[in-house]
Amino acid sequence: MRPAAAVRHPARTWRPPLALVLATATVAAAVWGRWAWLRPDLPPAWWAGAVLGLVWLGVALAQARRQGEPGELVWDPASPDGGQGWLWQPVGRARPQALQAPQVAWRGAAGVLVCARRAADGAPLRCWCPAQQGDGPALRRALAATGAPPPSAIVGARRTS
C-alpha cells in the first residue's frame, strides 16, 4: 500500500480586520492633533494623547503591512516528524511549520477560518481558506479524519436535500 499524498489548500494568515483599528487610530490622532494645534495652552496630558494617537496609528499601519501572509494549509499523512500532521507552508519559505490542534473557528460560503497553534512556540495561527480553491474535498476529509471540527463546520459547500 502506497502512502497517501499530502493535501494542500491555498490559505492566508488572518488577523482581525484592521480597517476598524486604522479608522479609530486615524480619528483619534486627528482629534488629539487638532485640539493640540488649536489650543497650545492645553495641559501635557493632551499633548501625550496626541503623541499616543500617532503612535497607535503607526502600529496599526505596521500591522496592516503584515496582514495576510499567503501560503498553504497542508495535511501530510507522512509528515517529517514521522506522524500525521498539519503544517503551515508560507510562500517563499523552504520548511513548513508544524501545527497543533487545528479547529474550524468560522465557516461561511466564502471559505473557512482554521485556528491552530504553532508546534514550535505555541503561537496562535489563523488561516483563511477560500472555498472552492485547491483540494477542498480532500481537506474536508483530512479535517474530519483528525477530529479537528464537527463535520458540519468544515470546508466545502453545504448541501441541502
Tens of pLDDT along the chain (161 residues) come to 334 566 676 677 766 566 777 777 778 778 877 877 888 788 888 778 778 877 877 777 676 666 667 888 777 776 555 445 778 888 887 788 888 877 777 777 777 777 777 777 777 777 777 766 555 666 666 666 655 544 343 444 433 44
Report d(CA 89, CA 105) in Å as an integer.
20
Q: So what's the pLDDT on residue 151?
A: 36
Report d(CA 60, CA 12) in Å as an integer.
19
The pTM (predicted TM-score) of the whole model is 0.51
Q: So what's the pLDDT on residue 35?
A: 76
pLDDT in tens, 26-71: 787 788 778 778 887 888 887 787 788 778 777 776 766 666 678 8
Give the angle 45-48-52 at the CA atoms, nearest 5°: 135
Report d(CA 135, CA 7) in Å as an integer.
7
Q: So what's the pLDDT on residue 3?
A: 45
Q: In the chain, how long is the greatest CA-to-CA distance?
A: 80
Report d(CA 3, CA 33) in Å as an integer.
63
CA atoms within 13 A on the CB side of 71: 22
Q: So what's the pLDDT on residue 156?
A: 41
Task: Count Cβ neighbours within 10 Å for each residue of 8-42 and write b for 16 or more, e otherwise.
Answer: bbbbbbbeeebeebbeebeebbeebeeebeeeeee
Amino acid identity for residue 48 in this structure: A
Q: So what's the pLDDT on residue 28?
A: 76
3-state SS assignment for residue 107: strand
Q: So what's the pLDDT on residue 16?
A: 58
Q: So what's the pLDDT on residue 65?
A: 61
